[in-house]
């Protein structure tokens, strides 16, 4: 029922995890997908080739989202290749450890640069094209950490909380241009990002999740696809919780 034929979607951090699952699902729904990666070329390139072999349209593009020049070059490439961008999924992110009294500037800055500045750069580069086209969808990846905080990951939680207020601000600012801006806030998801924590503390973590398991990347990709679709045409400024019931907030 959800079809995205004729739509061009740019998904950052699509080399694995939630971004990869989103790119695959959007492609299955008929979208042209641009898979951004930074360091891990292989899987993004392979998925793009696989999509093309089965008759779809896809492109893998390397860019560090924290680098303004690389982001602008990536968006230029998408416009040159496909002439439009209908959907931006700001998914690229990192999750590192940091106790506040010993956190080096570099650890703080790296998280700010990738998780927040990267979202700003990608959004700023894409919005003029969406305005010109008469609309678009922006879907940002927040986290339960941005809603309730996260001890020993305060830098990460600060970026994910900022994503929520960024999403709400742009929802109102861009509504006159028919650009709908929403966020998805996952809880624990079984990806490379959380693999070590789930391996070491899996039982403790799942014991406080009402559904008693972490989510799968595909279970986050589904709500992202919904937000990109015509079914979500009256939703903007919303933070969609996808967390197995772990954090219940409206």
Write out the catalytic residue numbers: 156
- Which residues contact ligand NAP by CB under 6 A? 12-13, 15-19, 36-40, 64-66, 91-95, 114, 141, 143, 186, 188-189, 191-194
Q: Which is nearer to ligand NAP, 65 or 171 (CB)?
A: 65
Buried b (16+ CB within 10 A) or exposed e, 207-246: eebeeeebbebebbbbbbbbbbbeebeeebbbbbbbbbeb
Nearer to ligand NAP, 17 or 136 (CB): 17
Shortest reach from residue 10's CB to ligand NAP, in Å: 12
**Within 10 A of 115 (CB to CB), how many other CB atoms are there?**
27
Nearest to 227 by CA among 178, 182, 165, 196: 182
Q: Let me know how long the chain is.
A: 250
**Contact present, 115 and 66 (Cβ < 8 Å):** no
Chain residue whose CB lies nearest ligand NAP: 17
**184 contacts 240 by C-beta, under 8 angstroms:** yes
CB of 55 to ligand NAP, least distance (A): 25
Residue 73 tokens, joined: 């070059």
Tell me whether residue 66 or residue 232 sits nearer to ligand NAP (CB atom). Answer: 66
Dihedral over alpha carbons 72, 74, 80, 86 (to 10 degrees):
-90
Q: In terms of CB distance, is 32 or 91 closer to ligand NAP?
A: 91
In the complex, minimum distance from the CB of residue 244 to ligand NAP, in angstroms, rounded to a whole number: 11
- State the minimum distance, in angstroms, from the CB of residue 176 to ligand NAP: 28
């Amino acid at each position: 029922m959800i079809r995205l034929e004729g739509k061009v979607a740019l998904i950052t951090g699509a080399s694995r995890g939630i971004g990869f699952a989103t790119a695959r699902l959007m492609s299955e729904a008929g979208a042209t997908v641009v898979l951004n990666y930074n360091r891990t070329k292989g899987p993004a390139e392979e998925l793009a080739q696989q999509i093309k072999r089965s008759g779809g349209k896809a492109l893998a593009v390397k860019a560090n989202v924290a680098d303004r020049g690389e982001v602008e070059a990536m968006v230029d490439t998408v416009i040159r290749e496909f002439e439009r961008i209908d959907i931006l999924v700001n998914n690229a992110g990192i999750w590192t450890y940091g106790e506040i009294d010993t956190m080096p500037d570099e650890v703080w800055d790296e998280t700010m640069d990738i998780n927040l500045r990267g979202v700003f750069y990608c959004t700023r580069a894409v919005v003029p094209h969406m305005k010109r086209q008469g609309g678009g969808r922006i879907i940002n990846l927040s986290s339960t950490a941005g809603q309730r905080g996260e001890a020993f990951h305060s830098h990460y939680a600060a970026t994910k909380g900022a994503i929520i207020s960024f999403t709400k601000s742009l929802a109102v600012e861009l509504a006159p241009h028919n650009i709908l801006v929403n966020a998805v806030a996952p809880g624990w998801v079984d990806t490379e990002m959380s693999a070590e924590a789930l391996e070491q503390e899996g039982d403790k973590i799942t014991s406080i999740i009402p559904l008693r398991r972490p989510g799968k990347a595909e279970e986050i990709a589904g709500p992202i696809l919904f937000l990109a679709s015509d079914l979500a045409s009256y939703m903007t400024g919303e933070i969609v919780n996808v967390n197995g019931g772990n954090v219940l907030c409206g």
